[in-house]
Amino acid sequence: MKKNIIKIISPSIICALIILLTELPLEYYPISFGLIIGLTNWNLHKYKPYLGVLLSVLASFVSFFIAFYSSFLVENLVDFIFKETDYFVGDESRGTLTFIISPFIIAPILVFLVYSYIFNFPKVKRTTMIILISIVLLVLNACLAFYYGIGKPYVFWQVIMALAIQLIVYQKTIIKTLK
| Angstrom distance (rounded) from CA 15 to CA 95 | 27
* pLDDT confidence tier of residue 91, bands split at 50, 70 and 90: low
Note the pLDDT of residue 169. Answer: 95
Contact yes or no for 60/33 (Cβ under 8 A): yes
Alpha carbon of 11 to those of 4, 86, 132, 142: distances in Å? 12, 44, 20, 21
Note the pLDDT of residue 92. Answer: 65
Tallying the residues shown for the chain, one arrives at 179
| Angstrom distance (rounded) from CA 116 to CA 120 | 6
For residues 88-92, average pLDDT: 57
* pLDDT confidence tier of residue 98, bands split at 50, 70 and 90: confident
Note the pLDDT of residue 174. Answer: 82
172 has pLDDT over 80:
yes
The model carries a pTM of 0.90
88 has pLDDT over 60:
no
The residues spanned by each domain of the chain are 2-178
Note the pLDDT of residue 75. Answer: 82
118-167 tens-digit pLDDT? 998 888 999 999 999 999 999 999 999 888 888 889 999 999 999 999 99
80 has pLDDT over 80:
no
Note the pLDDT of residue 23. Answer: 86
| Angstrom distance (rounded) from CA 15 to CA 102 | 21
Note the pLDDT of residue 13. Answer: 97
* Closest to 32 (Cα-Cα) out of 50, 12, 52, 46: 12
* pLDDT confidence tier of residue 48, bands split at 50, 70 and 90: very high
